[in-house]
Amino acid sequence: MEFLTRSERETEDLGAKLAIKLKPGVIIAYRGGLGMGKTAFTRGIAHGLGYPGRVSSPTFTIVQEYIGGRLPLFHFDWYRIRNADELYNLAWEEYQDRGGVCVIEWSEQAPEVLPSDCVFVTISRVNNFNNFNDNLNLNNYNNDNDNNGADNDNNMDNIRRILVEGMEMD
C-alpha cells in the first residue's frame, strides 16, 4: 500500500495509524536515505502505541527502548553497522523474542539478517524525477517554492512517497 505525505506531521500521523495494527513480534524495516522521515514515522508509531516520551534516531546507541505503550517498541538505527556480525554481537535476535515491535532505520546495512516476514516501509522523495517513474498523479500538489517555511505543506521538497509492504493498514 502506498501513501503520500506532505509534512513531518503527516508522516507521524501515518506511523500512528499503522501502530493500531501492530502485534507482538512484528519487525519493520525501513528503506530510504538520509532525512527521508524514518524517525518521524517511528515517532508516530511510538505515540500511536501510547508511548509519551521523546523519539530520536539512536545513531550512537544503535537501539533505544520505548516502554510504557500498548507494546514495547525497540527502535534500531543500523547506520553505523557494517556487517551482520556486529548485530549478533549486540544480541539483536534477543529483541525479537521480547513481545514487542522492532523498527529498524538503515536496514539496508544488513538485509540478510531480516526475517522473510518483516514489514518493509520504503520512503522516497517524489520531486526527484530521476527516481520517479511510476504513475502517481502530482497535479493535486501546488509547486510553491517561494515560501520560506521549510515544512510548508505545499512545498514539493516535503512530499514523501511511503510504501508499506507486508502488512494491511485498513
Ligand X SMILES: Nc1ncnc2c1ncn2[C@@H]1O[C@H](COP(=O)(O)OP(=O)(O)OP(=O)(O)O)[C@@H](O)[C@H]1O
Determine the interface stretch with ligand X among 2-10, 61-69, 81-89, 96-104 (rule: CB under 6 A): 2-10
By CB under 6 A, residue 34 contacts ligand X: yes
The single residue among 5, 7, 11, 39 that binds Mg ion, judged by CB under 5 A, is 39
Question: CB 33: neighbour CB atoms within 10 A?
Answer: 11
Instruction: Using the minimum distance from each CB to ligand X, give the nearer residue, 12 or 49.
Output: 12
Question: Measured from the CB of residue 47, what is the shortest distance to ligand X in angstroms?
Answer: 14
Measure the CA–CA gap between 131 and 119, rounded to whole angstroms: 22
Q: List Cα–Cα distances, 85 to 3, 21, 38, 48, 81, in angstroms.
A: 35, 32, 24, 33, 9
The single residue among 13, 57, 90, 138 that binds Mg ion, judged by CB under 5 A, is 57
The pair phi, psi for residue 30, each rounded to 5°, is -85, 145
By CB under 6 A, residue 75 contacts ligand X: no
By CB under 6 A, residue 36 contacts ligand X: yes
- What are the beta bridge partners of residue 164? 121
Determine the interface stretch with ligand X among 3-11, 17-25, 64-72, 127-135 (rule: CB under 6 A): 3-11
Q: Is the dihedral of CA 46, 47, 51, 54 positive or negative?
A: positive
Residues that bind ligand X (CB under 6 A): 5-8, 10-11, 34-40, 57, 105, 151, 158, 160
